Amino acid sequence: MTRVAERPKPFVVPEYCKGCGRCITSCTKACITMGTEINPETGLIPIVLDLSQCNGCGLCFDACPEPYGLRPQGEEAAFELLDPSTVLGPRPFDAPQPEPRPDTSVPLPEREPLIVKGTYAAAVGAVLAGCRHVFGYPITPSTEGAELMARVLPELDGVFIQAVSEVATVNMMYGAGGAGKRCMTFTSSPGFSLMLEGISYMIGAEVPAVFVNVMRGGPGLGNIGPEQADIKLVCRGLGHGNTHAIVLAPATPQEMLDIAMLSFELAFKYRNPVVVVGDGYLGQMTGKVRLPRRMVEPGIPEWAVFGDHSHRGNLICSLNLSELGLEQHNVHLNEKYERMTAEEQRADLYRCDDAEILLVACNTPAQLAKGAIKELRDKGLKVGLFRPITLWPFPIEALRTLLDRVKRLVVVEASSGQLEDELRLALSHADVLPPPLSHVRRMGGILPSQDEIIEHVLGLEEVR
Ligand code: SF4
Ligand code: SF4
C-alpha cells in the first residue's frame, strides 16, 4: 500500500514575523489571523495560528517573505534563534574608531590606454576615486559595471553586494554613505525609478553617493535600447520634496571614467548624491580610455556615523517633525543648490566660435551631432555643438555667451523633448530670449541619425 507522506503544518517564529499578513490571504482554511500582541523583541505584531482546519497545503510557507517566519512543524526542537552577540561577538561600542582625516591623492605610473566599454570605464573611474562599496541589482544595459565591481572589489578589500531589489540597494547606499564611505550603484531607467524614495531620503539627510544610470527606452519597462528617457526624472524628479542633485552626462567611454571620478569629488564636496546619466549605447560602446596619473585614497569625513557612543552626535536622519526646523533645513538645501548652480555648470563647446546654427545635444546624440557638423561645415554652413555636461545645473552661462550670433537652436535628442524642456526652462529662468528653436528627436531605443540631423539643418529657413 502506498503511503502518502503527511504534509507539515506551520509554526510561527514570532521574532521573524513582521505581521505583513501575506500568509493570512494565502490560507484558504482561515487558519491564520492577525495577532493583537506586540512582540517586545521586535515591536511588531506577529500572526496567530489556529491549525484545527489546516490541511498542510503549504501555501503559507510560499507566501511568507521572511526565511524563518513560518517553519514546518517538527523543526521546533532544531530551530534555534541565534543571538547576534554570540555569533558576531559584542558590539564594539568602545573599540577605537577611526579619526577623521582628509582625502589624499596618490600618483599612478603611466599606463597604456584601456579599450573598454562605457560601463567598465565608469567602474574603473569609481575605483580610482576610492569607491570600495558598490551595491546593485542587475538591469540591462548597466549590469556589466556591477559585474566588474563584483569581481574587482573583493581583491581591493572592498564590498559588492547584489541586493534583493533597487529599493534595498539605495538603502544600503544610505547606510554606507552615512558612514562616510564612497559608494555607488549601476542601474538603468526602471531600476532608477525604484530608487527615488531612497534618493530623496539621502538628499534630505545629506548623504553622498554616486548613481550611474544607463538610460534605456521607456516608459515602463520599455526596452533595452538607448534612450535619454530619464532627463526629466534626474533633473526635476528625484523623489518627493525639495530635491536636486548634480547630473552629469558623459558622451564617450573616456568621459564615463573621468566623470565617475569627478562625481565622487562633487558628492562629498556637497554631501549630496550625484547622478551620472549615460544612454544604453554609451554604456555598451567600446572606446580608448586613458587612465589618470593620480588616484584618490579617501579620507574619513568628520560627519561620518560609526556605531559607537562618541559618534552619536553624527546620527543623520531625513525626518524632521518640527515645521520650522524642516523649513530651515529646506532653506539650507536651497543655499546648497544655489552654490551648485553657481559653481558646477559644465559644457563642451565644439566649433561654436562662429556658429550661427547651434546644435544642443548630450550623451551619444552629441557624438552623432558632431559627425553631422563636420559634413555641414564641408558644405560651408556655420554649425556648432553646445553640449551640456551638467544637465542640472544646466550650463546656461556658457550658452548665453554664444547666443548673440546664433540664428537657430536645434536640440538633438533621443527622447520626447526632455532635454529641450531643460533648455527652455534654463533660458526662461535666465531671462534670455532665445532664437528660433527646433529639434530632431527619436525615441523607443532609436538614436537620431547623422543623416536626419543633416537633413533637418539643410531644411531650415536660415539655410535655404
Ligand atoms: S498549511 Fe495551508 S491550510 Fe495550513 S495554515 Fe498554511 S496555508 Fe493554511
Ligand atoms: S507572511 Fe510571514 S512575516 Fe508575514 S505575517 Fe505571515 S508569518 Fe508573518
Distance 72 CA to ligand 1 centre (A): 11
Q: Render 298-344 in DSSP notation, one character per residue.
A: --B-TT---SSGGGGGG---S----HHHHHHHHHHHHHHHHHHHHH-
Question: Whose CA is closest to atom 2 on ligand 1?
Answer: 57
**Interior angle at CA 198, CA 196 and CA 200, nearest 5:** 70
Percentage of the residues of the chain whose pLDDT score is greater than 90: 83
pLDDT of residue 274: 98
pLDDT averaged over every residue in the chain: 93
- Residue 95 is predicted with a pLDDT of 64
In short, whether 54's Cβ falls inside 6 Å of ligand 1 is yes
Residues 187, 136: Cα–Cα separation, whole Å? 7
Work out which ligand 2 atom sits closest to the CA atom of 20: 4
Pocket of ligand 2 (CB under 6 A): 12, 17-23, 46-47, 63-64, 66, 69-70
Q: What is the pLDDT of residue 5?
A: 64
> What is the predicted pLDDT for the residue at 36?
92
Which of 9-23, 120-134, 306-320 has the lowest average pLDDT? 306-320
* 7-11, 83-87, 245-249, 331-335, range with the lowest pLDDT: 83-87
Atom of ligand 2 nearest to the CA of 24: 6
Tell me the pLDDT tens digit for each residue of 379-416: 999 999 999 999 999 999 999 999 999 999 999 999 99
pLDDT class of 7 with cuts at 50, 70, 90: confident
pLDDT band at 94; cut points 50, 70, 90: low
Q: What percent of the chain clears pLDDT 70, i.e. is strictly above it? A: 96
**pLDDT for 2 beyond 70:** no
Q: Are strands 437-441 and 408-413 parallel, antiparallel or unpaired?
A: parallel
Q: Are 194 and 258 in contact (CB under 8 A)?
A: no
Q: Quote the pLDDT of residue 6.
A: 74
Which of ligand 2's atoms lies nearest the C-alpha of 21?
Answer: 5
Q: pLDDT class for 79, splitting at 50, 70, 90?
A: confident
- pLDDT above 60 for 4: no
Q: What integer pLDDT is reported at residue 84 of this predicted model?
A: 65
pLDDT at residue 3 is higher than 60: no
Give the pLDDT mean for 193-206. 97
Going from the C-alpha of 386 to that of each of 49, 244, 349, the distances in angstroms are 66, 23, 5
| pLDDT of res. 56 | 94
Q: How far is the CA of 409 from the centre of ligand 2 (A)?
A: 58
pLDDT digits (tens, 9 = 90+) for 200-241: 999 999 999 999 999 999 999 999 999 999 999 999 999 999
Task: Give mean pLDDT, residues 244-258.
Answer: 98
How far is ligand 2, taken at its centre, from the CA of residue 176, in Å? 29
pLDDT for residue 145 is more than 80: yes
Per DSSP, 7 falls in state P
Question: Which protein residue's CA is at the shortest distance from atom 6 of ligand 1?
Answer: 60
Query: What is the distance, to the nearest Å, from the Cα of residue 81 to the centroid of all Cα atoms in its chain?
Result: 36
- Select from 419, 420, 414, 347 the least CA-distant residue to 384: 347
Q: Look at residue 67 in the predicted model and tell me its pLDDT.
A: 79
Q: What is the pLDDT of residues 102-128, one digit of tens each?
A: 999 999 999 999 999 999 999 999 999
Nearest CA to ligand 1 atom 4: 54
Rounded distance between C-alpha atoms, residue 274 and residue 203, angstroms = 10
pLDDT band at 199 (very low <50, low <70, confident <90, very high): very high
**pLDDT for residue 311:** 74
Query: CA of 290: how far to CAs of 124, 257, 313, in Å?
Result: 11, 9, 43
Q: What are the chain's domains?
A: 10-77 (3.30.70.20), 105-301+325-343 (3.40.50.970), 347-458 (3.40.50.920)
Q: Which ligand is nearest to the CA of 32?
A: 1
Ranking 108-112, 242-246, 314-318 by mean pLDDT, the lowest is 314-318
Whether the CB-CB separation of 13 and 79 falls below 8 Å is answered with yes
Residue whose CB lies within 8 A of the most ligand 1 atoms, among 60, 62, 64, for a mutation test: 60
Least confident of 39-48, 153-162, 343-352, 431-440: 39-48
Give residue-wise pLDDT tens across range 154-180. 999 999 999 989 999 999 999 999 999
pLDDT at 432: 96
Q: Is the CB of 71 under 6 A from ligand 1?
A: no
How many Cβ atoms from other residues are within 10 Å of residue 407's Cβ? Answer: 16
Whether the per-residue pLDDT at 46 is higher than 90: the answer is yes
How far apart are alpha carbons 133 and 158 in whole angstroms? 6
* Protein residue with least CA distance to atom 1, ligand 2: 64
